[in-house]
Chains A and B, each alone.
Chain A
């Protein structure tokens, strides 16, 4: 059939032409090997936050000859991008986010350059207490960029309304105060726990477990929360019974961490968040545009089983992917970005025009102190004291490579217990089974 053959020929030609285009494009722009060049190059920084002010970046370019192309991607999407690039072994940026929880996984994938190869990380660690959250097998794979850690926030006005003047120092007192606020009718549901099945629920439980005086996993990755008198077990039970006893709003089963802070804490419908983000007082609760509780919320030392408990680290860092085109230039940029001077500038110590939007709590103690002394960080003294003395990594040996899967088991099971589709003990059992299975590598 002649017409058919003619058509097929035409189709074949189109297909052939397409292939040709593809190959031509492929030849013209293949990714070359990494270059140690630092002058006259443009590096890509793909980050979860907004860029520093243009003037600052321009000054960096002028000083070093390195141009920076900064791309902002929201945090969740960025993690997907990093996973895709790391598994396809593809270049996508010279500098990008390293989250503490993925240090094990990305470290084992060998996706980030060891930073000690480029920077004096030993010296930096003295000013950056959270460096250990990015250290795996002696290698530093990310430099802490901000100092995020978990901290208890209380709405002092609501506590005072219930007749509570002295802030609780133990978790027993804390629970008693919550009940008092509820029974006095100050607010219906005093405690904010984000029970949505998402990472924020796991983080909340880690912090609560720390407060009860325990750890999640031991050095070999084995669960430490199996027995009913372990801290992790008690912490999970405390959270779930707070919901069952009406201390937490029933709708919280669908509220994620930031949503709870924005819609409950910042609106004064919850009186306290046991595991809140450091910096939220200045960045959220004291901002009249988004909050009705300005100047009411304060950080308090974490109430623990017997006294003050640690604050668990939850920081983001910056690192250089192995497929980076200009790793040396990237290292120079990271050094600049995380310098004490720039961190203080970006967080607002030296005038509004130097601020990097969304950047509140510097990773360097010295920058934090400068910011506090100049009066630019709300309750900065408390935060820098905590950062200096009471912050602690969730996993002292670094997050295991199977952390994401474990964390998912944690939050889906805690969520199931909260909704009542599982008992608390069945949920904890499922969590520990998962940890055992993952730790044994099967």
Chain B
């Protein structure tokens, strides 16, 4: 636990110091780091990009995860294999995932272009990444959603399995439609699972790094806040400013998480 707390405490303290190995010594500088952050264009545009990543990622992964978890709720032939298949995207290492998806979105030899052409939907290969900001961010975020949805699904499944079967049986006897059962029983009772899944997706999307970096380079139109912390700290060697940005991101994560908690979480007792 100390290993998690010490760096966190370190981050909070150091964000009020000038910590630049190229410009020693480390000295107290109040809110200087924060001021500099907000006068950096790249940081400002990354805030917008990250906001889009979060909204797209959290919504899409949660909806998909609920859909998959409900599909996998009851026992049927091949279900356990299907769960294993569902988990696979999550297990692919980042560097390989980047290469696979670059191959799918690629404007020269990509699978998507190839499929669309084979289906005669387009005549010429299109450029999906880098041209329109929203399309670029959507394409990048789909890759992350692909990676994080298995975890969300497992978390929601864990919640689903706690719902006593008699509730579903009673609903069935009452002649409730599957949709009504889902709305009135399933959804309210898996709120704890959805909450964890959403908070986890929030943390992942707020910290999105590999996917934009591999698929879109450091381009301003897709760069994320974590990429900025990386550049500021590891490239410019301005650790104080990097800590300050991390602190802000941590605060943002906690505030939004609490919001999700308030909005979504309801304790469930059976």
Contacts and interface: CB of A to CB of B under 8 A. Distances in A.
Interface of A: 15, 80, 83-84, 86-87, 105, 108-109, 196-198, 249-251, 253-256, 263-264, 269, 401-402, 404-405, 408, 411-412, 415-416, 419, 421
Contacts of B239: 87
A415 B45 CA distance: 15
Interface string B215-254: 1111111000000000100111101000000000000000
Closest 8 CB pairs of A and B: A251-B107, A197-B217, A197-B219, A196-B217, A253-B130, A198-B217, A197-B218, A404-B235
Given A108-B22, A109-B237, 18 more contacts: A86-B21, A87-B21, A197-B218, A197-B219, A249-B107, A249-B108, A251-B106, A251-B127, A253-B130, A253-B131, A254-B216, A254-B217, A255-B108, A263-B109, A269-B108, A402-B236, A405-B236, A411-B218
B129 interface: yes
Given A253-B131, A419-B131, A408 B219 contact: no
Interface residues on B, range: 20 to 34
Contact of A416 (B1, B108, B221, B236): B221
Contacts of A109: 21-22, 237
A139 B217 CA distance: 34
A105 B108 CA distance: 37
Given A109-B22, A249-B108, A251-B107, A416 B220 contact: yes
B237 A87 contact: yes
Contacts of B125: 251
Contacts of B220: 197, 412, 415-416, 421
A192 to B, nearest CB: 11
Which of B218, B219, B231, B236 has the most C-beta atoms of chain A within 10 angstroms of its own C-beta?
B219
B87 interface: no
Given A105-B22, A251-B127, A415 B107 contact: no
B237 A412 contact: no
Contacts of A401: 22
Given A251-B125, A254-B130, A408 B216 contact: no
Contacts of B21: 86-87, 109
Given A253-B127, A401-B22, A412-B42, A421 B237 contact: no
